[in-house]
Structures are given as C-alpha cells and as structure tokens.
Amino acid sequence: MSDFTGEAIPEPAALPAAIDRLRRERRAVILAHWYQRPEIQDLADFRGDSLALAQAARDTDAEVIAFAGVHFMAEVAKILSPERIVVLPDLQAGCSLDEDCPPAELAAWRREHPDHKVVAYINCSAAVKAQADIICTSGNAVKVVESFPADQPLLFAPDRNLGAHIAARTGRTLELWPGRCFVHVRFDAERIAARKASRPGSVFIAHPECEAQVLQIADFVGSTSQMLRFVQDSPAGTIIVGTESGMLHEMRRRAPDKTLLPAPCHKDVPGCDECAHMKRNTLEKLYLCLRDLAPRIEMDEDLRRRALAPLERMLAL
C-alpha cells in the first residue's frame, strides 16, 4: 500500500476533500454511527445503528474499514472482517458499558450461575463477547431473548436498563449485570413529562439504555435506527428525542418539517446529552487514521474466534 504518512495535515476546510481522496486511494469504506459529529456523518459511506454497522463491516469488500464510532464497534468490525485493516480515529473512544463489565468479573458471575446462558449486549469488549452464548443489539434484543426456550435461565450483561426493558417486553426473568450508559441515565423523567405537557400533541421517544422511569413515559422505545424510522413515519409534529444528541442531525435532515427537541437531562449542563467517547472522533483524526492506517484494531486470533461464534449466532437470527 502507498505511504502517505509524510503528507501535511490539510487546513480544516480542505479536510473533507482530503479524506475523500484517501478513501479512494486506500480502497477504504467509512462507517459512522448516528452519534458521530455531523461533518463525519456527512462524509461516511454508510451510517447506522450497531446492528447495521456490524452487517456493513461483515459485507464490505473494501481493504480498509475506517470506523467512526467507539472501540467496541470497531472491534466487532475486526471480528467479522479479520482480513481487513480496521482503523478507529481515536483509540480512546470507549463506552461506559464496556468499562462497567470487566471480563474477569463476568466470568465469576457466570460461575455463580452454571445453568444460565449468557446474552451479551454488543456494547462490551471482545473478551466479554467471547464468554457469551449470543450477542444482541438494542435493535434485536427481544428477538434474541425469545430465541431461547422459555424455561432457559438467562444472564443479561452489561446494560441493566436495556435488560430490564427486554425482560418486561418478553415476560422473561433475566439476571441483570449492573452496567449503565453514562449518557442515557442523565435524562430526567419529570422534566421530559413537563416538556411534553407544554407541547400538546407531542410524543416522546427513547433509547432503551434510558432509566426505567424514562422508558415508562416513552411513546416509543427503540434502537437509534428504529427511532429514526419512527421520526420519519410518525404523524406527530413535535417529537422529544431521548438519546445522544448526534442523532438529531439525521432526524432533522429526514423530517425537516417536524419540530425535534432534545430530551432534558437532570441538570441543564451544555452537552449533557453528548457521548464524550463518540465525540472524540474529529475530521482531522479521521483524515489521520486513513493517512497513517493507524491506530488499528488488532486481536488475538483465538479471542477473535471465540467472540465470533456468539456474534454469528446473532447475525443468523
């Protein structure tokens, strides 16, 4: 592959064109999650929720995957497409759910529940995935849980709120790991209800990582892509959106005539509804990772194979 590492970093205004050129020269595909900065989403070849991005990473024939998202998402891309170079603009872009679930502690929890199967939400490390029987995303968790016989006891990790929501939706008893998304737990049910009451005819939609009292007052709960479809299809003129604020960029583009309001947090702190991990990625870092083909996601082959099996079970559903 050509060496572009000596190339000077372009001025900010020239970055999109430089990224586009490098993408073609590197035979790269840029995948972006809906929480990425608008300027990154606008450049991406493919945008989506965790499930759609995993499928795109599996199906691409590009030589390089530049993953504008967080570490566990890029890891999934590497697990599914080991022959490709996978780069992440900022290796520090993590996830609080991943941090809340150290692999050794999960292993101890599994030993305490030898009769249980493990459903792992995709927001976790490869070392946690490798211990799971199946992976799920917020978009398919109901289907995944229902794929087990009704009498099969299940452990669900790491997101407690998603797990409790899926237990209620399916009528199943799930043992829940106490992980939380540090962004979604900031939304405030009372303030959301007040905002809704002040806008007659408005509806409130939420991501399932929100707390139970927030989900209880939601008119719709779904993954980021499912929320986007709801916004496009809903007859409501005003929609209050309970998820990371990056999501509003595409929602406003697809539904320009609707009033889309971010859900209020517990405190009026600017950026309270932003995921600091997702926002670590910038156009300059995206340019650099395509220029230098670094930082790369590398993985031990034995770990990759063990993490692949439960991911494939999910994708086969």
- Residues engaged in binding ligand SF4 (CB under 6 A): 70, 95-97, 123, 181-184, 209, 244, 275, 277-278
Length reported for the chain? 317
183 vs 155: CA distance, rounded Å: 24
Residue 137 touches which of ligand 13P, ligand SF4, none (Cβ within 5-8 Å per kind): ligand 13P
Minimal CA–CA distance to 157: which of 133, 188, 140? 133
Q: Counting contacts by CB under 6 A, is residue 123 touching ligand 13P? A: yes
Q: Counting contacts by CB under 6 A, is residue 137 touching ligand 13P? A: yes
Minimal distance in Å, beta carbon 277 to ligand SF4? 5
Nearer to ligand 13P, 15 or 158 (CB): 158
Nearer to ligand 13P, 100 or 209 (CB): 209
Environment class of 75 (CB within 10 Å of its CB; exposed 0-12, middle 13-18, buried 19+):
buried
Environment class of 174 (CB within 10 Å of its CB; exposed 0-12, middle 13-18, buried 19+):
buried
Structure tokens at 67: 């993953």
Nearer to ligand 13P, 153 or 178 (CB): 178
Minimal distance in Å, beta carbon 207 to ligand SF4? 8
Structural element, H or E, at residue 76: helix 71-80
Phi-psi sector, 270: left (phi>0), alpha (psi -120 to 50), beta: beta
Q: Which of the residues 171 through 230 are near ligand 13P (CB under 6 A)?
A: 181, 207, 209, 223-224
Residue 46 touches which of ligand 13P, ligand SF4, none (Cβ within 5-8 Å per kind): none
Structural element, H or E, at residue 206: strand 203-206
Nearer to ligand 13P, 49 or 100 (CB): 49
DSSP code for 69: S
Q: Which of the residues 221 through 240 are near ligand 13P (CB under 6 A)?
A: 223-224
108 vs 180: CA distance, rounded Å: 19
The SS3 of residue 296 is strand
Residue 49 touches which of ligand SF4, ligand 13P, none (Cβ within 5-8 Å per kind): ligand 13P
Are 200 and 238 within 8 A, CB to CB? no
Are 28 and 62 within 8 A, CB to CB? yes
Residue 128 touches which of ligand 13P, ligand SF4, none (Cβ within 5-8 Å per kind): none
Out of 15, 18, 44, 49, name the contact with ligand 13P by CB under 6 A: 49
Minimal distance in Å, beta carbon 123 to ligand SF4? 5
Minimal distance in Å, beta carbon 48 to ligand 13P? 7
Nearer to ligand 13P, 162 or 293 (CB): 162
Hey, how many other C-beta atoms are within 10 angstroms of the C-beta on 160? 22
Nearer to ligand 13P, 98 or 188 (CB): 98
Instruction: Provide Rg for the chain, Cα atoms.
Output: 20
Nearer to ligand SF4, 202 or 245 (CB): 245
The SS3 of residue 284 is helix
Residue 50 touches which of ligand 13P, ligand SF4, none (Cβ within 5-8 Å per kind): ligand 13P
Whose tokens are 């939304």? That residue is: 187
Nearer to ligand 13P, 170 or 224 (CB): 224
Binding site for ligand 13P (CB under 6 A): 49-50, 123, 137-139, 181, 207, 209, 223-224
